[in-house]
A and B are shown apart, each in its own frame.
Chain A
């Protein structure tokens, strides 16, 4: 069964990305302007999605903040994917000793509580801004994928066609680029998309807990950091609207990623 191409997800995602990138004509208000006469206003004609407790217009903040969330997600995913592919493929190709050291190291970093790792790495970079946070999320998110890449490289290295290529005199780089890379590409692409997704979640969760971007830097996560106080003032729009955009983006990314992974289970079930 071939998977259907997720048209709706792609369109929605493209729309969100374009609207966020070209946000200036979209914004009806200045997202950073605090209109103190209109704090916690419900969605209405003037403020399409309402205002938060500092009187900022949520409709404008969504697009403006989306740009930052997406930037962090993309940058962090770029860093973590590059690291994961590097470590994973080196570990998969190298001698048993180097492989052992690299994998032990990976497991060790995995066993440090993620929160501590993030907080102390962030400390090295100083105050959190878009770029430092991306680097921190990127540097803390590569371990799982590196292990997967390593396993795949080892498995591919054991296949008959690689053996055949080597027997025919193929050099290391020939095997790498002609046989390993094309086979690795779909799963790496899938994981890269998932990393974008995870990085967006990580940014949102960190900013929400007050460990990431500060409230003044608008992103979907930092918008939600006002949520706990919004609970008490019954201002549901402060909680629901940024979260819906966040979840929608994540869902589109997941659908695209699943498609890229390619279709499994081609054989017919023996059970029926």
Chain B
């Protein structure tokens, strides 16, 4: 379990507060290329960031980019920034390039992301002890399927994001077996199918995500995820291992091509100071994914109604 520690250290490093000060605009004639990834939350954050840059006087180009494959491109300057990067599933390639100084970490986005074991609300009737995690041990059989018998079934993250579910059930000694989901779509399809027929389901999932609200998913209360739990075996319910607890909140941050600071100093500052909270992002995600509206339109409305939330950052950078 290297990742949560690394994540936590990075989070502490990210806390260093940068004081806003006016900067040069730089090459305003060349468009700043913002990466648009596959999920709605990221697309919303990107549109907000893009609008702020435009207000500062920049041209912005939105470039669709595969989250897994775009990092080399960003280190080459083919993409300039990605404004919502999740430490929990960022590919190894990001870390290699970042450590080599070919990508810059622009600090935390402030999105207080939560990861954990989720279940549909109706499972609290089948397994009355929930949300307490110890109830899972007693009700394991009601989560079982033919592939996992006699153990319960836990849907884990896709293989390439790591195996946080398998690690935790092992550390906590839960009688479950982790089945890796192949993709986010596979996880959501399972939620859809299970809630349509009130079937049992336990999965590793995250918030903010539209599915949490749409399918009324709840987090199981695992032992609190702390720094000690991941470094000291004595902490947590299992005295023999580390990592026998909940996830440490995932750091969600912004990353950029290192040349940005020189080329567009004010843009660099705006993106560094950009923050967005779950409370701000989640309703916008709902408007897109549940109500079926278009992202640019939803974001434009929000920007008009919440000018106080973003205008000061733009003003501080350019004036």
A and B co-occur in one complex:
no
Q: Chain A interface (Cβ within 8 Å of chain B)?
A: none
Residues of B within 8 A of A (CB): none
